[in-house]
Amino acid sequence: METGWVVLLSVALGLVVGAGFVLVVFAAERRGNNAVAVSSTAVPDGVEQMIDALDFAGLVLDPSNNVVKASERAYTYGLVSNGLLVHDEIGDLVARVRRSGDSVNKEIVLARGPFGEANIHLDTQIARLGSRYVLVLAEDRTDAYRLEEVRRDFIANISHELKTPIASIALLAEALDAASDDPEQVRRFAKRMGTEATRLSQITREIIELSRLQSTDVLGTAELVDIDSVVSAAVDQNHVIADARGMDVVVGGKKRLTVMGDETLLTLAVNNLIANAVQYSPDGSRIGIGVHHDNGVLELVVTDQGIGIPDDDLPRVFERFFRVDQARSRNTGGTGLGLSIVKHVVQNHGGDIRAWSQIGQGSTFTIRLPEATGLRAGTQGEKR
């Protein structure tokens, strides 16, 4: 009998020990799984495919706010750099979602680039993605604000600027009719009418171009742009006039630099700067174009030896229809829109433009743009 009890106790003790061992192994496995889950950067199934399919900005953040997945628009909008969030405004909303667990939908205004005054309006939605991640979605609403601004500015400026050439053509038509018996006068008035018509056409074309720049988002369709190609194309568009006036156009600086943007618009901006330098510089002078970069910022500099800009006028040179020398602008056909177009192109690319000038010494215009560095694999970086 005593032997039977001993056997039963031994069996019971063995079961208890075995059950305890199983529990210990199970707990260790759970701890290991949890550790793997904490250290893993993999996002839940299907999320990566969803992010890749978005036509607006989308990104997934881990508990340390590292970006583990981001759509292409998140990079072109400048929301992500080196795997981290760029803007504290979004980081504050993410922290709010982590604390409360509730999703947030808010429209925010962010700087378009690391410098400059241009902004981007984003309608953001932020929510938890499982227990570990946070999902950020951002849709660009800048166009709606721009359209309203363009409408106001267009109405304010167009009536005044078109009035002068239209009135001139009307007066010349009357003079032409009165001088119908004088062939020499007819030819003179007809030539002046042609000049005013050309000026009117140029104003209209540049107003349309400026309105388009103000009402569209360049970065929505941004591509990797080689600055060497931009400078080369802009110089080619001006070399005939420069050569005819005996001017040297010299290009130097760093090669093979890139930015995210629209090559046609960037070429238009640089072309306008070079055309201005040619127009306001004496025959036989020199125009320099340099490209440099530092700490992720690309600088494109256009320098001339022209008449210069007075200090009082320098802050206004980028305003629509502003002309430093009204008489010279009339003689050369200037509309006062060229530098305004340059400003809007640069701002649409997340950059800024600066001007330095001294009377009789010349002027220097410096375009600053975010350099396209550190692009992630699988996006525009493959185009290098």
Helix 183-215 with 338-348: angle, nearest 10 deg: 20
Residue 61's region, left for phi above 0, alpha for psi from -120 to 50, else beta, is beta
Q: DSSP per residue over 230-266, as a string?
A: HHHHHHHHHHHHHHHTT-EEEEEE--S-EEEE-HHHH
3-state helix, strand, coil in the chain (%, to 5): 50, 25, 25
- Six token digits for residue 265: 């618009």
Task: Tell me which range, 45-49, 278-282, 312-316, 380-384, is most confidently predicted by mean pLDDT.
Answer: 278-282
Indicate if the pLDDT at residue 384 is higher than 50: no
Rounded Cα distance between 214 and 199, Å, is: 22
**For position 377, what pLDDT does the model report?**
33
DSSP single-letter state for residue 219:
G
The chain-wide mean pLDDT, for the chain, equals 78
Split at pLDDT 50, 70, 90, the class of 111 is confident
**For position 42, what pLDDT does the model report?**
58
Contact, 120 vs 142, CB < 8 A? yes
Instruction: Measure the CA angle with vertex 308, ends 307 and 312; round to 5°.
Output: 135
| 57: β partners | 138
| Tens of pLDDT, residues 229-268 | 999 999 998 988 899 999 999 999 888 899 988 898 899 8
**For position 185, what pLDDT does the model report?**
83
- 329 versus 259: which is more confidently predicted? 259
- 7 versus 67: which is more confidently predicted? 67
Indicate if the pLDDT at residue 77 is higher than 90: no
Contact, 122 vs 59, CB < 8 A? no
Mean pLDDT of 165-169: 76
| Tens of pLDDT, residues 174-212 | 888 788 788 888 888 888 888 778 777 767 776 666 666
Mean pLDDT of 54-78: 87
Indicate if the pLDDT at residue 18 is higher than 70: no
**For position 199, what pLDDT does the model report?**
73
Contact, 257 vs 291, CB < 8 A? yes
**For position 165, what pLDDT does the model report?**
72
| Tens of pLDDT, residues 212-240 | 665 555 566 778 999 999 999 999 989 88
**For position 121, what pLDDT does the model report?**
87
Indicate if the pLDDT at residue 75 is higher than 70: yes
Split at pLDDT 50, 70, 90, the class of 323 is low
**For position 328, what pLDDT does the model report?**
47
3-state secondary structure 59-106: EEECCCCEEEEECHHHHHCCCEECCEECCHHHHHHHHHHHHHCCCEEE
| Tens of pLDDT, residues 343-380 | 888 988 889 999 999 888 899 999 999 988 654 333 44
DSSP E strand boundaries for 116-166? 119-129, 133-140
**For position 124, what pLDDT does the model report?**
92
**For position 53, what pLDDT does the model report?**
80
Indicate if the pLDDT at residue 146 is higher than 90: no
- Six token digits for residue 116: 């400059």
